[in-house]
Amino acid sequence: MSEVRRYALGLEYDGSEFAGWQAQQGQRTVQAEIDKALGMVADQPVASVAAGRTDAGVHARGQVIHADVRCSRTPYQWLRGANSNLPDDVAVIWAREVDVDFHARYSATGRHYRYWVCERGPRVVLSRKRVAWSYSRLDVSRMQAAADSLLGEHDFSAFRGAGCQASTPVRDLRELQVKRFSPEWIAFDVTANAFLYHMVRNLVGTLLVVGQGDAGVGWPAEVLETRDRRRAGPTAPAQGLTLTGVDYPAHYGLPARGSPSGSLDAL
């Protein structure tokens, strides 16, 4: 029998029509589509592991997975073979053979997300599956001031979704930048060593309350200290969120994460 080989692959997908990453009985998921496509290339069953389990409706332009197989394939074979068997809303964008000690989830040193909000009176139509909508005027400077107070290593229980299975609520929040790219488009760039279930969406939802003028700049930091999810703002809608990249130690030789631009095409 052939030796086990481990391959890492980068994925891009539109999460609009998926019930999230993780395979679920009777549901259309990214993992199920990927495993089926990779299995056809490998000519054997494949069970992939992802850097992060994105929720239903959440997108990715920098998801990373690994899979173990007993066959040898070139990066080109994985790329072309998988994509020829994948639906239009998911694609493999790169592939590499890696050491068996590489793990898509546990080897990661950082995750990056971007959350898009369209701020205007009429509801969003053409971009409705890729951005959240705010009919209220948002004060970016207030949201940034509030965001700055949340940086660092903390217990983020106040921003932890129900059903979170993480063993600890402590996370290192390294970046929380709020940027206005045009009169209508605002992006939240969020980086941490790892995230709790719904953590990014709960952070954004809380900052939006501040941006709308319904809470003070110091309120999110006060909420953080309570460790009580009931005290924070609402969970922001899933469609605005995109996993933009995952960081790994350089010795694995994986493609560097690209910096997202201010264009929605960068999703």
Positions marked active-site:
55
Q: Phi, psi at residue 123, to the nearest 5°?
A: -65, 155
**Residues 158, 223: contact at Cβ < 8 Å?**
yes
Burial of 25 (0-12, 13-18, 19+ CB in 10 A): exposed
| Cα angle, residue 251 at apex, residues 74 and 60 outer, rounded to 5° | 65
**Residues 236, 189: contact at Cβ < 8 Å?**
no
At 9, which amino acid appears? L
The length of the chain is 267
Contacts of 267 (CB under 8 A, 6+ apart): 59, 61, 114, 116, 130, 242, 260
Handedness of CA 119, 122, 125, 128 (dihedral sign): positive
Determine the 3-state secondary structure of 185 from DSSP. Answer: strand
Taking the C-alpha atoms of residue 227 and residue 224, their distance in angstroms, rounded to an integer, is 6
Determine the 3-state secondary structure of 92 from DSSP. Answer: strand
Determine the 3-state secondary structure of 96 from DSSP. Answer: strand
